[in-house]
Every structure is written in C-alpha cells, then in structure tokens.
Structure 1
Amino acid sequence: REATGLGRYTFAHRKDIARLVDLMTLSVADFLDRYFVNEAVKGALAFGGVIGSWGGPMSPGSAYVLLHHRMGEAGGVRGGWGFVRGGMGALSDAIADSARSAGVEIRTEADVASVDTVDGRARGVTLRDGSELRGRAVVSGTHPTITFRDLVGESNLPDALAEEMRNYRTRGSSAKVNLAISELPDFTAMPGTRLGPQHPECVISPSVDYLEQAWDDAKYGRPSARPMVDCVIPSTLDPTLAPEGRYVATCFVQYSPEKLAQGTWDEERDALGDRVIDAISEYAPNFKNSVEHRQVLTPVDLEERFGLIGGNIFHGEMSLDQLFSFRPAPGVASYRTPVDGLYLCGSGAHPGGGVMGIPGLNASKVVAKDLKPRSWARR
C-alpha cells in the first residue's frame, strides 16, 4: 500500500524524479560539489551527511542523510537544531509529565522479557520479574531487532519477515565523549575564553578528504586516527547544567566501528578520548588542560546501556533499502506488524532516527484508528 502511494505520488510529480533520484543515490561529496567550491565550506557541511552512518562522504546515498538532518525546524528556524533547557533528560521528563497528566502509568526499571502472543495476536508483555501486563495493543519503541527477535521470537513471525530482520543492517560508527571543562576553548581563529558565538558548538571536519580518510580507518576496523568531532557545550546556553565557572561539553565522534580488527573497546577507550581531546586542542590549544573529567562511550557501551544494536544511533542504517516503505522491512513500514496488536513506534520505523518524535506521532494515529470502535451499518 505504501509503495503504491509512493508510486502514484512519483508519477504525479515525475518532472522532479531526477532530483529525487539524485538525492537518494548521490554522495554528499558529489551533491556539495554542485553548489560549493571552497573545501572548508564543503567539509563543514559534509559531516551532516555521515552522522550515524556506516559510510563516508563519498559513499552513495549520503546526500539523503544530509537532508535528513536538515528537515524540520527548531525555534522557527528551518533546518535548525535546538537546545533543551535542563539537558536532554528534560525532554523525556516533559513527555512523561504530559503522559501522566493523561492518566498514563509509567514504570521504570521494568525490563520486558517477552511480547506475549495468543493465536497470532499480541495480548501483552511479561516482565523479567515475571509480572504480566495485558492490553489491547503493544507498542514498541525498541530497536526492531530487539522487538522481533528477542521479544516476539522468530517462531512467531512469518518466514519472510524473520529473514528480513536477520539481514537488517545496524552497524554503528559513532561514539560519545562527555567532558567537564574548567574554561571555554580559546580558538586560534577566534580567540577568547569569554563566552562568544564560537563556543556553543564547534565541528572538526576541515574538508571532505579529512572525513573520507576518517571513514577509511573504520572500513578496516580501526577507530579514526583523526576523527570527525561535533563538540557541543550546552552549558553556554543553559548555565544550570554546570557549576559556576565550569562547563560541560559533549562530543559526537566518528568513526568508531563496533567491531575492531585488533583489541577490544575496553583497551581502546582511553586512546579514543585522547584523540578527541587532541583534535579539538589542535584548534583551541588551551582545551587539553581545561579537561577535568571525561566519560567515553564506545559503540559497545551504546548497545549495552541504551539498546542501540551495533551502536547504531538510528535503530538501523539510513540507506535507501531501509527507508520509507522498507523501514524496517517491507510489510511492516506502516507501524503495524504481522502480529496483530503489535506496533512499532521507534527510530527503526519511518522516517527514521533523530529527536523529532515523528515515528511515535504517526504510530499513535495508526493505533488510535485501529482501536477505535467500528460502527456497522444496519441491514
């Protein structure tokens, strides 16, 4: 049904089909070459085409990833990103408070052991402590692999879907380095440790070639010797996140393949933190000495702590064959699943990852429609 709808839309807008094909198949490097000549400008923009991706700026399809990170708006600015006052946890708290005000009961520290099915229909879940919860629908925001393989079980799935999920690609390439710093970076290009426009965020991605070389390391199971770093200092905009005179910085890092060719991530953890700090210090020489504490989260940590299989921040790769009507697999892209009463609402559903809530919004409409009492015409 989704494929048919997409086909009709494409036919009606067939004059734009070439642009659509370009967007979905071009590399972000080729895409930017059409509009820019300065390598520094292209480097500063190209990182948006590889965030969370198992690929480099010259990989086909990375142009779409750039668009994915520029869709929507924040604060009325198209393509803008926003800071959450109180930290990202405040966003979760706001959603939880809204749900509680509507009568929702929220349980934490309540791991789900299984989605329970009877005659092909989801009837509820069983928690790890043995408690059973029953309901008219089960809506899962976990990674699709966890939902189908671990909670439902392949024996309760159609063979085709079980096969699709075994082949679902969810390789991660990212790490996070969180830092407590004593002063703001003193950038060589824009000096000063007094709060200025250069401080809320800086990106270490000086050229497309720099990014591609970082990806080359990851392809062969090595953490990038010179990583791409997106460093955000949220306490510059929200002082409540750090003590007076101190700051917190969170660094999104690529590339960090989950599976290393040599060694383990426990052995490589400190080296990764050092490379990130060194990369920023190359542009802000005071940065290294300003670091008072650090936390390094590897792809293995992202999986173990947050259920991000493979360390993939999007619950699955954002490639053409895993988008739109194929996310996470054909036949389950409408938020409904072959298991009646079971729905998907996380980043593994259309339109994919990002702090936007669209998969959940769309799923809620589908669930509400399905649970709405049907009125039957009298004969």
Structure 2
Amino acid sequence: MVSTANQIPRSADVVVVGSGHNGLVAAAYLARAGLDVVVVEAHSTPGGMTSTNPMAPEAPEYMINEASIQASLFRTTNIDEELGLSKRFGLRQTVIDPAHFQLAADGSSLGLWRDPRKTAEELRYFSKKDAEALLDLYRVIDAAVEIGLPAMQTNITRPELVKVMKSVKAVVKNRKELSAIGRWMASSQAEAIEESFEHDMIRAPLLTSLPFMPFDADLSGWSLIYLGVLSRYGVAMFHGGTGSLPKALIASLESDGGKVITSAPVEQLLMDGDRVTGVRIAGGREIRARRGVLTACSPKTTLTRLLPSGVLPPKLRNRVDHIPTKKRGITDYKLNIALSGRIKMTKHEKWRGDGIDLRLACNCFHTYEEALEAAKACVRGEVPEQIPGLAQVTTAFDPSMAPPGCDTFWYWSGLTPGVPRLEWPEAKKLITERVIRDAEQYYEGVESLEVARRDLAQPDLEERFWAIDGSVYHVDPTITRFGPRKPAPGFAGYRTPVPGLFLTGSGTHPVAGISGMPGQNAAKTMIKLFKAEDSGGRAHLLKARREQERGIEDIETAGTGDSPYKFTALR
C-alpha cells in the first residue's frame, strides 16, 4: 500500500528517489534480494512518466496516461517473468498490431505491422520499389538488434560475460550484414530514409515518430532500429492504462517488504564524510540509507541539485554541468483531451475497408516535408505551422478509462521548439491550437467534442516529472551520449564516483522509453557491489575510496573480512 509523507521511515538499506518504472524495477529487485527498500516520490501518485491518473481537476471522471503509452522495449526483457508481474500481480498487456499507421489527407493509410512482409504488402500499393527496399532494410536492422540488444541488457562499463558472448555470436551470425549496418548507422536519419524510399507514406512515419537527433546529423540513422524492435517483439499496451505497470511493480516490491512514499520530494542528499548516507525530504524529515541511495530522476537533477555543492571535484562537476538536456533545438509536448463522445475516422476506415479500428494504434498524419520543416522551424525558435507527432485514442483500447460512450485523445510530439522566441504560455497556446486543428481532419470530434484538455509543454513537463528542461529522455538522445558516456564520462555503469550514490532511469544506459532495463541493470550492479562489500569488508571499502578519489568509476572489489550489513542472495 502506497504511503504518504507523514509515514516516512527513519532508515532503510536503500532509498530510491523517484517512482518511475525504472526506479520501481530497481526497488523490486533490491527488495527481492532481501534489502529493506524505501521509494520516495515527489508527486502525490507514483509512476512518473508511466502514470495513469484521473484528469483532475479538468475532468476527473476520465483516466489519462500522463506521458508514455506504448511499451516495446519492455517486451525485450525478462523483468515481467522474474518479478512475476503478470503471473502474480495482475499485469496484462496486449500487442497492438499494426502498432502505427501513416494517414494521408486523401483517406489512404499504411499500416506498420509487426510482420514486415505485411507492411511491405501494403506499401506495394504506393511503391513496389519501396516495398522491396523495406524488406532489405528490415533484414539489416534485425541483425543490428540481435547484435546490440545484449549490450543494452547489462552494465555497459562492466558487462556480463554471457551478454558479451551473445553479442559476439550475433556478429558472427550476421557478418554478411556488418557493412550495411555500418553504412546505415553512420548516415543521417534523413539520408537513410531517402536512400531507401521514394514515397511519402513510408518516409513520413520514419521521421515523425523518431525525432531523437537532428534529422540531418551524421549517426542519427540509428533511430530506425526501432523497426527491428517492432518486428521482433511487438509493441504492447497495458490494460488499465500505462499506470498498470508501476502498480504491478509496487505490488511486487511490497510483497518483499518494500515501501513507496508519495508527496515526498527530496531536497538534498545527506553526506557522512564523502559518502551519501540518506536523503532529506521537503519539510526537514530525513531517511538514512545504510547501503546506498539510488536516484531514478534526471541524473543532472541528482548531480547538480540534490548532491551538496563541493562534493564532486571540479573536473567531474564540469562534466555533469554539461550533460545535454536541450541542445537538439527540439523538445517534447504532450496533450490529453477528454471528449463527450466517440471519435470517428470514417474516411480512413472506408478507404481500408478491412474493419481495423485505426484509433488503436499510435498514428502519424503529417508529411515527410512537414516534419523536416518543423524541425528547422524549432531550431530557429519558431512554433512550426504543423506539429508532427503521434496520435492515439486510448479508450479504443480500454473503454473503462472514460464515461460510457466517451473517448480520450492522446498526442505526443518531439518537434516543438526547445527555446521558443515567444514566451512559453503563448508558444504552448499556439502549439495546442495547431495540433487540434490538424488532428480534427483525421480524428473527427477532437475539436467539437472537447470537454477538457491538458497540454504539457517543456516547462510543464519539467514541473510535473522533475525532469530538467522537460526532457523526457533526461539526457539528449544523441549517439555520443550512449554507452560509457551516458549520462557523462565517469558516471556510466549506474555507480557514481561518490560512494553510496547510484543512478538509474531514462538518463542512464541504455535508453529511455518503457523498458525497465536501466532499473534492472542498476539493481544487479548494486547487488553485486553489496555482496563484494559483505565479503570484502574494510579492505574493499578503502580501495573503493582511493579509486573514487582518482575519479575512477569502475571500482574493483577486493579483500576479505566482514561487513556490518548483510542481506540474502537474489532469490
């Protein structure tokens, strides 16, 4: 049972800051290993960017997914199985197939199916050449996923041997595709798309739905790897809303004695000498952490706002000050609309004639050129005339999230200006007006049936989710900020140079989105370290401190003896 701030315990083995799904995944694994774990959450409800809550005060009878909605990378992990989320704690998910449609103004559409052959078959209507090129690209991307996924599922600075060997075997198996993978990964996103495809119906969704790096930046072609995840694992939604995932994780955590405390924003990390030993909650209450503190919020928030000034040496402090959070020129925007009736997509459903409910998928409806122009406008600080993004009718999947006969509309865009020339209130108003104007042409009723709306631009995302600069990624998703440089050199691998302080969340390896991998990897890293401390005693701790002073992130374990803190092995 989630507790409020008036029930804060005085101590725990591990304090986790932030109840987003990565923080909860880590907490559940740590509690399962026998540790006393407390999760503290600033907001009044848990879940972070995977929250599902009433749309209060605007329309409290409607439930909305406040940020994330589709889960793809989560399905690449064994978290569900290991924590018993489906078998024991009620998590239910259904693969949405097609996961996406590209909608055209004339009523035509292209479904992006889990099976690439089905997508290619639809694409042949628009371009036979593109259909064949799509299958060629899928073959290359599928090989890249097989090679790269094992590295995502482990500590990037101290990878598990079994994961390394799995990647090596995949390299050998896919050796004929290596040169093609290299060319694709090195190219810009726009270059990779234009080299393979000629028709807007396939070009547009590969740009609009994946705005991670500037579209013309070298190495931004990697973003198309999402196609491989889509085909291998499928994209799912959780019954009861995205918040069903944190709900199941909390049930798992509590079954092993863990706790979640809401309405408990952390003001500062507590120090004992050079070691982090707890947290101070707003209002002055403190929780002591016997083994460590794990933060699942933005790493820049942790290292520049929560960690006391002067703890990091100047060189390391300079690195964290330069963690990029809005250097791409583009930023994110989120819109939920409560409706008094049902959205229709008559023109597009009639064109297809196959009975598919187009409202289920996350869909794009802007052209390739509109997406390119939107990105350029954002860099200039302008609100684009069109705001390309992803649209979805959540109640098409789960009608229980609104009153009978009513719908909710969800929209996300990564193509709004990072630093607008207008003041944010005016910029947000303009963005929302343009999103609704364009959406009404495809989702009939979005404008005319509106009961209430909640639109979140960059400042709103920062306030709601405690993410610096409103970055849903926590760290700009540029290729140079992956692996051992994520979030900054010296801070990868979930351990920090500050003893007792650990990082997880979207700003740590491997990626943002609903995956849980950062939380799983962080927990395994901590458990391994704590076991080494328990067997290594003072010799280990002294060596760790010496290496920390030299700014080395990968602290070796050594020595023999006893530690005052013991816990059971991972069950």
Q: Same fold (TM over 0.5)?
A: yes
Instruction: Write out aligned runs for 1:211-222 (5 A).
Output: 211-222=371-382
Kept in 1: contact 2:487–2:507 (CA 8 A)? yes
Distance 1:166 1:90, change over 3 A: same
Structure-2 separation of matches of 1:18 and 1:366? 34
Kept in 1: contact 2:420–2:427 (CA 8 A)? no
Residue in 1 that maps onto 2:508: 349
Paired residue type of 1:240 = S
1:253 shift after superposition: 2.0
Q: Which SS does the other structure have where 2:384 is aligned?
A: coil
Structure-2 separation of matches of 1:213 and 1:279? 16
Given candidates 487, 492, 497, the residue that maps to 1:338 is: 497
Kept in 2: contact 1:214–1:225 (CA 8 A)? yes
Deviations 1:104-160 (A, max 9, x none): 121111111111222321111111221121121110101011100001134111322
Structure-2 separation of matches of 1:285 and 1:22? 42
Deviations 1:155-196 (A, max 9, x none): 11132221111111111611011011222232423249xx84
Matched, 1:224 2:384: yes
Distance 1:81 1:284, change over 3 A: same
Residue in 2 that maps onto 1:197: 357
Residue in 1 that maps onto 2:298: 143
Structure-2 separation of matches of 1:377 and 1:152? 31
Residue in 2 that maps onto 1:35: 196
Instruction: Write out aligned runs for 1:1-379 (5 A).
Output: 18-50=179-211, 53=212, 55=214, 57-67=215-225, 69-70=226-227, 72=229, 78-135=232-289, 136-171=291-326, 173-181=331-339, 182-191=341-350, 196-262=356-422, 264-372=423-531, 373-374=534-535
Q: Which SS does the other structure have where 1:113 is aligned?
A: strand
Q: Which SS does the other structure have where 2:336 is aligned?
A: strand
Comparing 250-259 with 124-133, greater Cα deviation is found at 250-259
Comparing 282-291 with 350-359, greater Cα deviation is found at 282-291
Structure-1 separation of matches of 2:224 and 2:267? 37
1:350 shift after superposition: 0.3
Q: Which SS does the other structure have where 2:431 is aligned?
A: helix
Comparing 266-275 with 122-131, greater Cα deviation is found at 266-275
Paired residue type of 1:47 = T
Residue in 1 that maps onto 2:42: none
Q: Which SS does the other structure have where 1:350 is aligned?
A: coil
Distance 1:329 1:230, change over 3 A: same
1:370 shift after superposition: 0.8
1:210 shift after superposition: 1.6
Q: Which SS does the other structure have where 1:231 is aligned?
A: strand
TM-score normalised to structure 2 length:
0.60
Kept in 2: contact 1:28–1:62 (CA 8 A)? yes
Kept in 1: contact 2:345–2:358 (CA 8 A)? no
Kept in 2: contact 1:24–1:320 (CA 8 A)? no
Q: Specify every segment of 5 or more residues in structure 1 that has no aligned partner in the other structure, as ranges.
A: none
Structure-1 separation of matches of 2:185 and 2:303? 28
Comparing 224-233 with 197-206, greater Cα deviation is found at 197-206
Distance 1:254 1:153, change over 3 A: same
Number of aligned residue pairs: give it: 368
Paired residue type of 1:323 = F
- The higher radius of gyration belongs to 2
Q: Which SS does the other structure have where 2:244 is aligned?
A: helix
Distance 1:86 1:5, change over 3 A: closer
1:202 shift after superposition: 4.7
Paired residue type of 1:151 = L
Distance 1:239 1:81, change over 3 A: same
Q: Which structure's relative contact order is higher, taking Cα pairs within 8 Å and 6+ residues apart?
A: 2
Kept in 2: contact 1:203–1:228 (CA 8 A)? no
Kept in 1: contact 2:504–2:519 (CA 8 A)? yes
Deviations 1:45-74 (A, max 9, x none): 222331xx352x33333322232x44656x
Kept in 2: contact 1:120–1:340 (CA 8 A)? yes
Distance 1:267 1:352, change over 3 A: same
Q: Which SS does the other structure have where 2:198 is aligned?
A: coil
Structure-1 separation of matches of 2:386 and 2:283? 45
Identical residues among aligned pairs (%): 25
Q: Specify every segment of 5 or more residues in structure 2 that has no aligned partner in the other structure, as ranges.
A: 1-154, 537-558, 562-571
Kept in 2: contact 1:27–1:63 (CA 8 A)? yes
Q: Which SS does the other structure have where 1:122 is aligned?
A: strand
Paired residue type of 2:293 = V
Structure-2 separation of matches of 1:32 and 1:228? 17
Q: Which SS does the other structure have where 1:103 is aligned?
A: coil
Deviations 1:311-370 (A, max 9, x none): 211111111221111100112111100001111111111002111110000000000011
- Across the aligned residues of Structure 1 and Structure 2, the Cα RMSD in angstroms comes to 2.8
Distance 1:71 1:305, change over 3 A: farther
Structure-2 separation of matches of 1:284 and 1:42? 22
